[in-house]
Structure 1
Amino acid sequence: MKKAILVMIIVSVVGALAFSATEVSLALPVVITSAGQSTEVETVTYVADEIGLKYDYCDILSKDELAAGVGLGGAASAIGKHVTTLSPDPKGTKFQSMILALGASLKGMGASGLSVDSEVSRLKALIDYAKANEIAIIAVAIGGSVQRGLPGSPIEVMIDTVAPFADIFIVTKDSNKDGRFTNAASERDVPIVEIDSAFDLLDTFAEVFGL
C-alpha cells in the first residue's frame, strides 16, 4: 500500500497547514525508532501497544535493518539495543512508514554506545534511505518545553536533523510553544498535527493508521 496524505479541511495556523488526525492517513507496516535515545520513544511504543498498532521497533535502528523490512533482518536485542518485531506482514515486506520519536538523552546515547554525532549520522542514513524508497517519515515530539533546549543543544540538533525531512509532524502544544515545528511544516507544506498532550497520541495514532 502506498503512503497517502489525505487533505479534507485545511486550517491556516501561523502560516502553516494544520491538520486534525482524521485528515491524515499513513500506511503500514511501520517501524519505530528513537531520534536522540530519550524516553519519549517508550511512550510512543506504549501508545502503539495500547491501541493495537503492530509495529517493528529498534531504538538504534540502522539503515540496513530499515532496508531489510519487516523483521529487521533478524535483528535481536543486546546490550544497549532493544528490538521488538510485531508487524504481521511477511518478513522482508517494505516499511511504508517510519516514526522518529524526538528527544535527546546523553545518558541514553551513552548506554547505546552513541554520541550526538554518531546518532545524527544514524538518523541521516535512515532519512536518506526513507526518502529514496518512499517511506513516510513521521516526526513525533511529545517531550514538552522541558525537552527543548538552546540552539546547538542535543535535542535541538536532533530536531535540526529530522525536521527538514519529515513528511508529517505530530507534536504536543507544549513542545511547539516557539512554533519551531509549525515553521518546519510550513516551509515544506507538510501536515502538522498538534495535540494537547502525549495522552492524545492514543486517538491520534488510531486515526492516522486507520485503526
Structure 2
Amino acid sequence: MKKIMFILLIAMLMLSGCGGDSTGTSASQSDAAENETEVTVEGLTEAIAEQPVLLTSVGQSADVEMVKTMLSKNDIKLTLDASATAEDLGDAKTLVLAVGGSSKGLGAAGIDANQELERVTALIDAADEAELTIIAVHIGGEARRGELSDKFIPPSFEKADYAIVVATGDQDGLMKGLASDAGIPMDVVDTMADVIAPLKAAFK
C-alpha cells in the first residue's frame, strides 16, 4: 500500500508539473549548448549523515513533501518544517534541503522570494556553523527550473556536503558546476523514485 501511495504521489506531482510555476526557462539552460564546459563530479562513496534530520523547503514548493516520503520510506527519523529557522535546528544532526521555488507556495506562506532567501541563508549558515551535515536535494526536474527556482539553487549548494539531483533538472550543468566548485559529491539520477537509494546510502 505504501508503494502504491508513493507511486501515486509521484504521478500527481509530475502531472502538475511537480507543482512547478517557475517563471520561464532559465537563461543558463537556454545558453547551455554554446556555453557547455566539461565539469565532472563524483558521487557519494560512503555514508556521511546521521539522524535525526531537519527537513526544510528552499523555495516553498510541494517537493518537500515528496522528500519527506523518501526519508520516511528509508526509516530516517525526521522533523519537517518548511519554514524552519536557525532556532529550529534543535538536536538535528543533518539538514536536508528540498530545493525548488513555487510562487504559489511562497504566497501561501505569506512571504516573497527575497524573504525566503534570507531565511534559508541564515538557516544554512547556522547549520554549517553547528557542523551539521547538509544535503541538498533537487527532485523537480526541468519543471522546477526557471527564474524563480534558480534563485534558490546556489545558496543551497555552496555549503552543502552532498547533493542529489534528478537529471532533467540539470541539463545546463548549473548544479554540477556548483557541486564541483564546492568540492562536494553529487549523485545524478534519472527519476524521482531513483532518489530513494542514494538518500538512504547517505546515512550511517
What's the TM-score once normalised by structure 2's chain length? 0.77
Runs of 4+ in structure 1 over 3 Å off: none
Match of 1:135 in 2: 132
| Equivalent residue runs for 1:20-39 within 5 Å | 20=44, 23-39=46-62
Aligned-residue offset at 1:127 = 1.1
Match of 1:97 among 94, 99, 103: 94
SS of residue matched to 2:119: helix
Higher helix share: 2
Counterpart Cα distance in 1 of 2:79 and 2:67? 12
C-alpha deviation, 1:197, in angstroms = 1.0
CA offsets per residue over residues 138-190 of structure 1, 9 Å max, x none? 110010012111xxx21011113222222211101111111111111111211
Output the amino acid matched with 2:173. G
| Cα contact 1:171–1:194 (8 A) shared by 2 | yes
Alignment correspondent of 1:19? 43
The share of aligned pairs that are identical, in percent, is 32
**Distance apart, 1:115 and its partner CA:** 0.7
Say whether 1:108 aligns with 2:105: yes
Return the offset for 1:46.
1.0
Mapped partners of 1:206, 1:161: distance in 2: 24
Show CA shifts across 1:25-68 (max 9, x none): 312221100000001111100111222111111011111112xx
In structure 1, stretches of 5+ residues that fail to align are 1-13, 70-92
Q: Residue 29 of structure 1 contacts residue 96 of structure 1 at CA under 8 Å; is this kept in 2?
A: yes
Query: Which residue identity lines up with residue 50 of structure 2 in the other structure?
Result: A
Matches within 5 A, 1:2-151: 14-20=38-44, 23-66=46-89, 69=90, 93=91, 95-149=92-146
Q: Per-residue deviation at 1:101?
A: 0.4
Deviation of 1:17 after TM superposition, in Å, equals 2.5
**Does structure 2 conserve the Cα–Cα contact (< 8 Å) formed by 1:16 and 1:185?**
no
Which structure features the higher share of strand residues?
Answer: 1
Aligned equivalents of 1:35, 1:144: Cα separation in 2: 15
Distance in 2, matches of 1:178 and 1:97, equals 28
Structural RMSD (CA):
1.6
Supply the distance in 2 between the matched residues of 1:17 and 1:107 (Cα, whole angstroms): 33
Question: What displacement does 1:23 show?
Answer: 3.2
Give the letter for the 2:154 counterpart: D
The answer to whether the 8 A contact 1:142-1:198 is kept is yes
Give the Cα separation in 1 of the matches to 2:159 and 2:40: 16
User: What amino acid is aligned across from residue 43 of structure 2 in structure 1?
Assistant: F
Equivalent residues, number: 168
